[in-house]
A and B are shown apart, each in its own frame.
Chain A
Amino acid sequence: GQNIDQPTEMTATEGAIVQINCTYQTSGFNGLFWYQQHAGEAPTFLSYNVLDGLEEKGRFSSFLSRSKGYSYLLLKELQMKDSASYLCAVRDNYGQNFVFGPGTRLSVLP
């Protein structure tokens, strides 16, 4: 079966660092993606991991461990505009289907 888990909600303070975890159990794996979605808007692509390790992109970093079925998204120097939902998604072996987790709603407080 396909299952992706994320915490439902998280809260952090402006300027801080927050880590959003994602665990997955899928029948195939060809990459893990993180998307940001502001309320009522379309998701936008943040990061992609297909090999184990850390990918850094400005204030955002994403980590993957394929053996553990685990990824995290790290957000540094939090800003108010980072308040959004963060979606973890796994692409299957054939690159045809993406399975999305339930999303983590992050609230950044002043």
Chain B
Amino acid sequence: NAGVTQTPKFRILKIGQSMTLQCTQDMNHNYMYWYRQDPGMGLKLIYYSVGAGITDKGEVPNGYNVSRSTTEDFPLRLELAAPSQTSVYFCASSPQGRTGELFFGEGSRLTVL
């Protein structure tokens, strides 16, 4: 099983550029999440989705957008990239009605210069 797959693994952006981080999962999980991880900090929730067509803001949504057109895919869009968005981004999924266990992708390291 592939689990949660994120692309790209690394990306360098210039200030003001836009890009989309892709996330797909093959576990048929209803719930999907985007986190960012800054050095020495815990993960912060950016956006999450409880099913296709439904998204909601997490703790740090500013500067990001998401969509959920299918159960499998949950892309994260960065508009007008800023140096403060330099971080490692993790996509995760979880099955409904379980213990809250999250299944993570390997992460995407983004640098904005």
Q: Are A and B interaction partners?
A: no
The interface of chain A, by Cβ under 8 A from chain B, is none
